[in-house]
Amino acid sequence: MAFIQCQFYSEILSLSTGINVFIPQYSAIQVSGTGKLPVLYLLHGLSADHTDWVRHSFIERYAEEKGIAVVMPSVGRSYYTDMKYGSAYFTFLSDELPTIVRALFPISDRREDTFVAGMSMGGYGAFKLGLTFPERYAAVASLSGGLDIISRMSGPNNFQPNELIAIFGDVSEIEGSPNDLFYLLARLKGYNGIKPMFYQCCGTEDFLYTDNQTFRKHALDSGLEVTYHDGQGEHNWEYWDPKIKDIIDWLPLSGEK
């Protein structure tokens, strides 16, 4: 497995930014299929960056076993959002980053080979991508995601003073907007194409457990099928590391026999 630390200039963000990338040095999928690798875009949490998954999990080992590339971007504390007063991180993540990654690495551009997952803030980002662009992803996963963003803004949270306003504007602006996952769930009901597979998990001792239960109910009410797992666990790497292995094993890799 090759580990690549990559810096490049983002036109969308108007700054130099970094990604960490794992590229299999040999993959049966790559050799026998399209010649391009399936890819998992793996998103970090609010207080982290693109090094977090490398430092705290065995993601390299799990991905190598499956012959899948992993791309880990850095978005600061943006909540994977085109910020009200700041940079367009959602546009960077959804449009610019995949174009750059495919230009630099042997990454497939097929929907069937493209997956996204994240923990905490990254779980919100992953589901936001999958619900907004269902035609781009085959599978989407959230680990302990901050999925009820209105609840996060209105109740206890670990945002800095005025940070929420900079990201989202006033809380009244979220409901019914592209930043509201419940709005995106309702909108997806009218989508007639193939929907991604969705995976959601959260530990029962996690402070985001109630938010995850709320999202699960909305998903069920909207008719969206979501593979759901809970069980004992807190908001930490002891929970996320084994869960990301479960997610890697769950991905619908088209080259597997």
> For residue 136, which of 155, 152, 113, 118 has the smallest C-alpha distance?
113
Give the pLDDT mean for 110-125: 97
Q: Among 143, 114, 103, which residue's Cα sits nearest to residue 41? A: 114
Beta bridge partners of 2: 23
At residue 143 the predicted structure's pLDDT band, cuts being 50, 70 and 90, is very high
Window from 21-25, 65-69, 163-167, 199-203 with minimum mean pLDDT? 163-167
> Residue 158: pLDDT band by 50, 70, 90 thresholds?
low
pLDDT at 90: 98
User: Residue 12 pLDDT more than 50?
Assistant: yes
Res. 157 pLDDT band, cuts 50 70 90: low
Confidence of residue 29 (pLDDT cuts 50, 70, 90): low
Helix (H, G, I), strand (E, B) or coil at 56: helix
Alpha-carbon span 209 to 211, nearest angstrom: 5
CA distance 141 to 130: 9
pLDDT of residue 163: 87
Q: Where are the beta strands (DSSP E) in 56-106?
A: 69-73
Evaluate if residue 57 carries a pLDDT over 90. Answer: yes
In contact, 127 and 145? CB cutoff 8 Å: yes
pLDDT band at 72 (very low <50, low <70, confident <90, very high): very high
Fold of 2-250: Rossmann fold (3.40.50)
Q: Which residue has the higher pLDDT, 163 or 102?
A: 102
Residue 156 has pLDDT above 90, yes or no: no
User: What pLDDT sits at residue 257?
Assistant: 36
Q: Characterize the bridge pairing of strands 69-73 and 15-23.
A: antiparallel
> Which pLDDT value is given to residue 25?
86
Range of lowest pLDDT (92-96, 133-137, 150-154): 150-154
* Contact present, 91 and 148 (Cβ < 8 Å): no
Which strands sit side by side in the sheet containing 226-229, from one edge to the other? 2-10, 15-23, 69-73, 39-43, 114-119, 139-143, 197-201, 226-229
Q: Does pLDDT of 228 surpass 90?
A: yes
Per-residue pLDDT band for 256 (boundaries 50, 70, 90) equals low
CA 10 to mean position of chain CA atoms: 19
Residue 223 has pLDDT above 50, yes or no: yes
pLDDT at residue 125, rounded to an integer: 98
Amino acid in position 215: F
